[in-house]
Amino acid sequence: MNRLENKIAIITGGAAGIGAATAIKFATEGAKVIIWDLNEEKGIALASEIGADFDKVNSANYMEVEKGAKNVYEKYGRIDVLINNAGITRDSTLKKMTPELWQQVIDVNLTGVFYCTKIISEYMLMNNYGRIVNASSVVGLYGNFGQTNYVATKAGLIGMTKTLARELGRKGITVNCVAPGFIATEMVAAMPENILDGMKAKVPIGRLGLPEEIANCYAFLASDEAAYINGATISVDGGMTV
């Protein structure tokens, strides 16, 4: 089943983790994938493996996003899908959090999504069609100790998604949000076993999620099957927020 046949899809932070799983999923669903990431080595290797394009784009840099989007449009004549997946953490309690730690996360996780959405939606408007999916987190719904900056961005994306859905929906562009729970990325898998066991204990189905399971949700929301879903935040967390 090729739900994304011939769709032109940009995936930010697409070189590793959930982003890489999404790039692979989209390619198997027939999309032409453009991976944006700062990790050239992983990005180029993955792009070569799945027949995608890679461009070193910092989503927190307006000019780089502008140039990257223009390159995609000039090559393919349209942009159909934007997956705002890029994100970073700089965890610290409020007492220890510096202005630099705060700003770094805001720049990538929130401002970067604004830049990408603002610029790429203009190309989508040319065809009155688009699918935009933002990566929030379950912590954006209920908060998390030591993550004031990260939680602020992920909660902000939920509100941004609702507003953009109202503004762009009537013009053929849907905007939705996915809130992953504890996902077994390489970074998470490297945590101590007792920490992982504690994370699993909080999940009703008793395990961590797989990057592919988030990618599946992204692919559904990017497809025409989800044409009447707009402004939603879908938790993919094994029931953590029940």
User: Quick one: angle between helices 40-50 and 17-28, nearest 10?
Assistant: 20
Q: Are strands 53-56 and 81-84 parallel, antiparallel or unpaired?
A: unpaired
Q: Are strands 8-12 and 130-135 parallel, antiparallel or unpaired?
A: unpaired
Q: Hey, which residues does 84 pair with through a beta bridge?
A: 134
Tally DSSP H helices, then E strands, for the chain.
10, 7
Amino acid at position 151, single letter: V
Active site (annotated) includes residue 228: no
Q: C-alpha angle 134/199/190, rounded to 5°?
A: 85
Q: Are strands 8-12 and 32-37 parallel, antiparallel or unpaired?
A: parallel
User: Could you give the CA distance from residue 36 to residue 85 in angstroms, rounded to a whole number?
Assistant: 10
Helix, strand or coil for residue 190? coil
User: Could you give the CA distance from residue 119 to residue 130 in angstroms, rounded to a whole number?
Assistant: 13
Alpha carbons within 13 A on the beta-carbon side of 162: 6
User: Quick one: angle between helices 112-127 and 62-76, nearest 10?
Assistant: 30
Pick the catalytic residue from 115, 123, 129, 150: 150
Q: Which residues are catalytic?
A: 150
